[in-house]
């Protein structure tokens, strides 16, 4: 469970505090798929960066599974990051490394896994995302959908309980989007992962999200089950 308790975020720009997120309280339940929609500049990325502690709140508290993570130190942060995976619009793969090495990368960075553990986990993840025979290829040799599947495998490497998706299907064609969404839905169902998903695509929200928050001007202006928020006149 992710809780934002009166979280507020301002960025310091040229000595001035620019508000990006006004005081916001919300709860994302364990195992749900939670969508965040809104125009550019609405505060969606800020909200997500507050969940994985890429940004610290100016005020308020962020709690994950009941634990206040707001003031974690560097060591606590390293451990916490393993609990939160992230995937991106442009995949952010390392082009000079193979698919298998890209997936292994967060495990190596963590420094707590043996070579054997990494090898086994990479093989398991390649199978999970249907890329078993592609481990020795380079990202440039893959299609967009395959690249995002590598991104998903990498995000899952350290067995996170939360997966953050920032416009993860925005660079993909509709058919590829469907297959990536199916994979995310399977992961949500089978691994019980909580998924928080930023998107500007209403179709994505309708297909996969349980609940959605609509953001505007640094505020959550509407929040609820997708059917309540989008299907009334």
Note the residues at the interface with ligand ADP (CB under 6 A): 11, 13, 18, 20, 38, 40-46, 100-101, 104, 115, 118-119, 122-123, 135-136
In whole angstroms, how close is the CB of 41 to ligand ADP at the nearest point?
4
Alpha-carbon distance 60 to 200, whole Å?
27
Alpha-carbon distance 12 to 14, whole Å?
6
DSSP code at position 69: -
Q: 58: helix, coil or strand?
A: coil
Can you list the alpha helix ranges (DSSP code H) found in the chain? 44-51, 74-82, 99-110, 115-128, 144-156, 174-191, 202-208, 226-231
Integer-rounded Cα Rg, in Å, for the chain is: 18
In whole angstroms, how close is the CB of 209 to ligand ADP at the nearest point?
17
Query: What residue is closest to ligand ADP based on CB?
Result: 135
C-beta of residue 176 within 8 angstroms of C-beta of residue 183: no
Residue 77 or residue 94: which is nearer to ligand ADP going by CB? 94
Residue 13 or residue 74: which is nearer to ligand ADP going by CB? 13
Residue 114 or residue 175: which is nearer to ligand ADP going by CB? 114
In whole angstroms, how close is the CB of 45 to ligand ADP at the nearest point?
3
In whole angstroms, how close is the CB of 44 to ligand ADP at the nearest point?
3
Residue 13 or residue 75: which is nearer to ligand ADP going by CB? 13
In whole angstroms, how close is the CB of 43 to ligand ADP at the nearest point?
4
Residue 44 or residue 149: which is nearer to ligand ADP going by CB? 44
Q: 33: helix, coil or strand?
A: strand
């Amino acid at each position: 469970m992710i809780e934002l308790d009166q979280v507020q975020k301002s960025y310091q720009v040229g000595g001035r505090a620019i508000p990006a997120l006004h005081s916001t309280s919300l709860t994302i339940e364990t195992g749900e798929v939670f969508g965040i929609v809104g125009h550019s500049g609405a505060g969606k990325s800020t909200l997500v960066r507050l969940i994985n502690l890429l940004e610290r709140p100016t005020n308020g508290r962020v709690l994950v599974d009941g634990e206040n993570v707001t003031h974690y130190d560097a060591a606590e942060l390293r451990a916490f990051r393993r609990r939160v995976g992230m995937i991106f619009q442009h995949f952010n793969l390392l082009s000079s490394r193979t698919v298998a090495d890209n997936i292994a990368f967060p495990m190596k960075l963590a420094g707590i896994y043996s070579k054997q553990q990494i090898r086994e986990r990479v093989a398991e993840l390649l199978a999970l995302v249907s890329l078993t025979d592609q481990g020795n290829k380079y990202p440039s040799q893959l299609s967009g959908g395959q690249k995002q599947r590598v991104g998903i495998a990498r995000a899952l490497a350290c067995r996170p309980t939360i997966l953050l998706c920032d416009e993860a299907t925005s660079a993909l064609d509709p058919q590829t989007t469907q297959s990536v969404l199916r994979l995310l839905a399977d992961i949500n169902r089978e691994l019980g992962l909580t998924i928080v998903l930023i998107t500007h695509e209403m179709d994505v929200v309708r297909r996969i999200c349980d609940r959605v928050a609509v953001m505007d001007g640094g505020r959550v202006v509407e929040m609820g089950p997708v059917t309540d928020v989008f299907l009334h006149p």
